[in-house]
Amino acid sequence: MSDAAVKPTPVESAIAPEVSETPKVPAAETVPVVEAGPIVAEPVSAPIATPAAGAEEVVGAPGNPAAAEEEKAPAVPELAPIAQLWNVALENGHPEIWGVTLADPETHIPTQIVLQKYLNANDGDIVKAKDQLTKTLEWRAKTKPLELIKKAFAKVKFEGLGFVTTYAGEGEASAEPEDKEVFTWNIYGGVKSIEETFGNLEEFIEWRVALMELALQELSLSTATKAITAEYDPYKMFQVHDYKSISFLRQSPAVKSASGETIKVFAQNYPELLKEKFFVNVPAIMGFVYSFMKLFVAAKTIKKFHPMSNGGNLALEFTDSNIKGLGERLPVEYGGKGGDLKALGKEPILSDGQEQ
Ligand code: HEM
């Protein structure tokens, strides 16, 4: 964190994070390389078929052929966690997550990545991972996030509030995930009318989801080539919230419900996609908002948060990036020498009229 960072009061978390994380992985640090290859099933931990209660007394008992037979019956091996998650997806029937058309993770790396993220988000707890995956599949079937990328949102409500930028290593195109960084930018300081932007919660969430799906297109998990593990996952993005020019000191109910709902929807449906999150141009006087917001976010996600009072220091945060000169390539107002977000970034589709 830079010197200009606002020192917030630590607060215990209450609900799930927007994008939960793998606790053992220090984000944005060098991580060991895992070669792409077929997914190896975890060693069989326990057979599904366990002897019936009291079986011990009879198994192998002389003159009990049925018991002897039972003893010889091969145990049914428990499926590896990823295979179990794949079965959940098959049973559910919804065919895609984050632009990845799901296929057998044994041979399809993009699906392995998606499913492993659900496992990682739940610290390997397969029951919780299955539940979260099911809820995501149901949510995607209902919300159709890929359709939202094609939807036009009203300029007057959303123009200039959200961008996606991608930075790849210069020179030869590299397929290494470490040679690409994707940023989503939320310029909430640019909101002209709180009521216009946040007043219709469903519409705001749709726009926010469209922005996230644009970022996922840039991350391009569908063409990913490296399997991930609990410790290694380079397929994550940076997020920036810019609160420049915020002129309202109290959070309105519309902002509270929009941010609360976004945090909930994202925690459920976009796990393990956040590398680091920067809150820039946070006026010192707004430190209390940070403390308040953290009440809704899991402690392990808060570790990835960096509040900064001066947005111009953002570029300094990327000096050790794998991508040379990443900080310099950011827009000037964030301390770089690059063009502004309007020129370089992608926005959800906007239209002059009401949304269509
Ligand atoms: C009144 C102006 C503000 C607006 C309109 C606003 C808007 C939002 C929204 C819509 C979210 C949902 C998450 C997302 O979109 O990614 C959010 C989350 C958040 N905001 Fe703000 N916010 C405001 C002020 C602040 C300030 C001053 C801070 C202090 C740093 C802050 C800190 C946070 C935090 C910590 C989260 C949780 C982020 C997460 O879970 O990823 N907000 N805000």
Give the CATH number of the domain where residue 218 resides: 3.40.525.10
Q: Are 264 and 316 contained in the same domain?
A: yes
Residues 306-347: pLDDT tens digits? 999 999 999 999 998 999 999 999 999 999 999 999 999 999
Structural domain including 182 reads 150-351
The last residue of one of the domains, among 143, 167, 187, is: 143
Query: What is the total count of domains within the chain?
Result: 2
Question: Does residue 333 belong to any structural domain of this protein?
Answer: yes
Render each residue's pLDDT in the chain as its tens digit; 356 residues: 443 444 443 333 323 333 433 333 333 333 333 333 333 344 333 333 333 333 333 333 444 555 555 566 677 788 999 999 999 999 999 999 999 999 999 999 999 999 999 999 999 999 999 999 999 999 999 999 999 999 999 999 999 999 999 999 876 567 789 999 999 999 999 999 999 999 999 999 999 999 999 999 999 999 999 999 999 999 999 999 999 988 765 678 999 999 999 999 999 999 999 999 999 999 888 888 888 888 999 888 999 999 999 999 999 999 989 999 999 999 999 999 999 999 999 999 999 975 44
Cα of 338 vs centre of ligand 1, distance in Å, is 25
Contact 108, 222 (CB under 8 A): no
* ipTM for this prediction: 0.93
pTM > 0.90: no
Pocket-forming residues, ligand 1, beta carbon under 6 Å = 17-18, 186, 188, 191, 208, 241, 243, 246, 248, 251, 255, 258-259, 262-263, 277, 279, 282, 286, 289-290, 293-294, 297, 305, 307
Residues 173 and 123 in one domain: no
The CA 293 to ligand 1 mean position distance, Å, reads 7
- Atom 30 in ligand 1: residue holding the nearest Cα: 290
Q: Are residues 131 and 188 both part of a single domain?
A: no
Condensed to tens digits (0 to 9), the pLDDT of residues 235-249 reads 999 999 999 988 765
Q: Are residues 261 and 162 in the same domain?
A: yes
> Ligand 1 centroid to 35 CA: how many Å?
37
277 Cα nearest atom in ligand 1:
41
**Of 126, 143, 160, which one is at a domain's C-terminal end?**
143
What atom in ligand 1 is closest to the CA of residue 184?
Answer: 16
